[in-house]
Structure 1
């Protein structure tokens, strides 16, 4: 089939962009608040509602136009340009937060949860001791 007669299969384009971003269907599903089966069905669909396309584009970190205009040839050409300009490092400026800060936030959250759990257990022990003393 020639490229001129290929349908504009949005689902396949989403699939290819997701794969190029090294993202699994499960990760995209989580970002969209759905399940992997829904992502699989979406990637097999030729068309997708504009609202959903906006959500998918945001989750993939690309524009809606990038999805609509995506082609493997253009992607290959894009990546080949990195050999021509050594100062262009793909993806290094995509991170908008410090991963170590996020890790420390998670550690603090876990610490607070552990303290709450410990307090609940202590309260339970006190209550049981009180019941034993009453008998």
Structure 2
């Protein structure tokens, strides 16, 4: 068995990044100005020229280095950093803001319900006025 490592398959990396971004081949093809078959061919290629790779990276919203260095193991490690119960990283990322609710959601729901009731009452009154107006027209004829 050879101790040589398998060469990096750039097409598979592109495919996996596209899938993680919940993007279909057709959408990537449209962003690249090509067709789905061409994207399929790219994803089956072991190597891609740098100009094309730059276009693909831009269409995917990532850097060329992100594509070249992509691995499933790195993704798992990256997402595992978010499973900590330590929220200091999150607070640091948003400027230390406290994101607790400053209002009671039930109160907001009740306010919305009361507003809807008032709107229905106005609609009902408008309909009553319309009926009265039409009845007056009929009586006057």
1:52 aligns with 2:57: no
Aligned match of 1:41:
41
Aligned match of 1:83:
83
Aligned Cα RMSD in Å?
Answer: 2.2
| 1:46-89 deviations in Å (ceiling 9; x for gaps) | 0001000000001111100000011010011111112225528x
Aligned length: 88
**Gaps (5+ residues) in structure 2?**
92-141
Q: TM-score, normalised by structure 1?
A: 0.60
For 1:100-111, what aligned pairs fall within 5 Å after superposition? none
| 1:87-135 deviations in Å (ceiling 9; x for gaps) | 28xxxxxxxxxxxxxxxxxxxxxxxxxxxxxxxxxxxxxxxxxxxxxxx
Aligned match of 1:16:
16
Q: TM-score, normalised by structure 2?
A: 0.57
Aligned match of 2:65:
65
Return the alpha-carbon distance in structure 2 between the equivalents of residues 32 and 71 of structure 1. Answer: 23
- For the pair shown, the structure with the greater C-alpha radius of gyration is 2
